[in-house]
Structure 1
Amino acid sequence: MVGLLHQLSKNPRQTATCEELLAELVPPEEEPSLELVQDQYSSLDLNFRISALQIICMLTMETKAVRGYMEDCANTMTTYRKEKIEYQRNRRLAIEELKVLNDQRRILLPDNMPPSPPTDSTDVAKSNGDVKAAGGYDSPGEPSEDGNESDDDGRARRSLRRGGDRAVERQRKREEQERKKEAELAAKAPKQSKQFLKVLRDIQKKEDEIKKYEDEIAITDNDLREADCGRTRVLGKDRFWNRYYWFERNGMPYAGLPTSSTADAGYANGCIWVQGPDDMEREGYIDLPAQLQDEYKAKFKMTVPERKKMEEGRTSVFNARQWGYYSDPSQVDSLLNWLDSRGFNEVKLRKELLLYKDKIVVNMENRAQYIGSEEEMSNEKPRGKKEEAKRMSTRTKTLPSPEPTHFRCLNWTNTMAIDLLGHLHSEPPPPPKRKGGRRSRG
């Protein structure tokens, strides 16, 4: 890194910046060494780190490797687009075939429907029989019209015993008649024809085929999104022409490359970034002429810049060189509530945020968990172990101090360089292998 900055310092446009960085990394009064540079970088100011990172990123974009990678991605995207067009064409044909099958099903449906159940007259007869049994003139042992008993005591007792048997017999006959009627209805109902069943099976197969094409289209869309590395696509703009970016939206997987050395973090960026308005947009929509500002103030009791500062709060951004960010999931909900769906810009921005909201929230939660301080994690006591924690003494025990969060950037490793070159750029290359073996004496 020091050698690179020394070479770039010969460029007049970068001389001042590179000399300032070199003075911090390699102080003039110290003897240059690899250990010195590492120690100086560990205590380097954040602004100097960002300045060095900017120089490297801008220089990287001019290399042949990056241009070759972008060309490969462009060719890959062309292949994906052709596959997507083929899947869409097959899906459209399958939908047309499904429509024909549904028409055939509707034509065959009336002949394969069970008939409506007929009106049952047994309820009327049953109710009449119950009324007759409830009358006093048919019940055994009842007095006759002249006030005398119609039967002797023995016959009355036999009639009472036979009364329960007759009730059971009537119930048995009724159940038998109902079973016969159900069997007759089942025999009269037409069975579904083989042609109708075949149409139903074809419809199910066609629906499964359409679902398969839709899944392939979704996978292809995601591959296109990951290969689209030519430019960063903006989520949208708000009423004050601020641009919103979620950098995982294109050019990478949502959680970063799974083969990266920092893939265990579970997120790539984990923030929604907000860039201030461009100068042309600011002059045309915010810094209006005095006459238009007076008209706006007379109508809304404030100017456009005053309204922008009031609604954006203390993190208001004024130009394209100023940035803000959202890093908490609750802030995403607040942003969605703040956006007005009636606005031309914000209706599109709101649509994109709702489309990626679930993935944005997951990345934000993973980021918050990853950068959480060790002190907060150590203060959390496990359940069921409060007494043990109280009795544990740390008076003579020295606990390790938590690692500063800005040192975690040093955990990244260039695994691609190790795979291709066999070593990191900061390490000396391994000695070359001998091409031939030992010569035999003869």
Structure 2
Amino acid sequence: MSSPTTGGPGLDQARRLVTEIPGPRSRELAARRAAAVPAGVVSGQPVFAAAAGGGVLVDVDGNSFIDFGSGIAVTTVGNSAPRVVDRAVDQLHRFTHTCFLINPYEEYVAVCEALNRLTPGDHPKRTALFNSGAEAVENAVKYARAATGRPAVVVFDHAYHGRTLLTMAMTAKNTPYKKDFGPFAPEVYRAPMAYPYRSAGGELAALRDLIDVQIGAENVACVVVEPIQGEGGFVVPAPGFLPGVADLCRERGVLLVADEVQTGFARTGDLFACEHEGIVPDLITTAKGLAGGLPLAAVTGRAEIMDAVHAGGIGGTYSGNPAACAAALGVIETIEAQNLVERARTIGARFRSRLTALHHPVIGEVRGRGGMIAVELVEPGTTTPNPAAVAAVIRYCQERGLLVLSAGTYGNVLRFLPPLVIPDHLLDEGLDLLSDAFAAL
């Protein structure tokens, strides 16, 4: 068995509990954390990581957890994936930084070339690199405003786009993301989302009215939409809604921005989630799964849009860090070499089959695509959100060695984002624990 300090796929792929949860070393670190880290920075799990790889995360006490979270869809190809590590280490030995705005380097260009090739559409494209999903979304809006000469941005209910000033305004949920941080950026307008479990339809008509009547289409730079909403609860829009949004944007000369920060890079059973309904956005943002855990994000868009910004108008000191770029090339190689798009579909089918078979009265809906699956929990016999049940399931799983995340505007959604390289036996063991957790309710 690998040492707890050695990560990567060489780790023993087994769930193992050797202490109470959290263990003594995690509790010791929690005390240090409380004295050093501000209270507003919270963690969903009480255990401190020592190593991770394949489908497990090992804590500082030697407990090994099945990982159904992937660091919020970041380690899609697995923690410390060999191609990612090898490329990043090689780059770190050569140089760690020059700033692409000063001395450019091939790795940045290679990532841009790859994204131009892989993202939907065969039109000429350009890509710019950034550090985080929020930066990518904010810069996509800058590109859209520069290209159209229009100020307004349209987003949707239940959306999450980030924590910068502009992306907070674009994000729907107040607590914890926006509370006490206003005033927010202007010219952001919100439309209803086609949320099949909770909406009655008519969302396209409402969007058309918002653009044409309330804002004026001539004032709208872009519509920004997550093809599957992430923090909002893994909401899969009603069939036909996204194509309808794309058609409306095209008719009004409004740019369509697909926020694929959480859904991109094989997570949903296609390389990008907008491909499920044949959507070709004008701009697409990526981050989380792009570089296997190193900070990297991108905006990829039509060449004429991306070239509309004046020289020097876009950039940042660390944007497109060379080690992160090298890691991203390793991620893309891994997805293609291990056929992780197909693997995501297999994982999704396994989750759906097991979760729908539970027939528990708190389960309102099982939804998602590929390796991005959620269960919305409600008060039995109603659609009233049940965040207490979510907390109970997470606590049960955590105490028994399974890491599960929550989501949703109402805090009542369990979301599952396992690494796509997770072994089948860990998938089944984790799903068995979930079944036990629901039975314990």
Q: Where is the helix percentage greater, Structure 1 or Structure 2?
A: 1
For the criterion TM > 0.5, the same-fold answer is: no
Q: Where is the strand percentage greater, Structure 1 or Structure 2?
A: 2
Give the shorter-chain TM-score range: under 0.3
TM-score normalized by the length of structure 1: 0.19
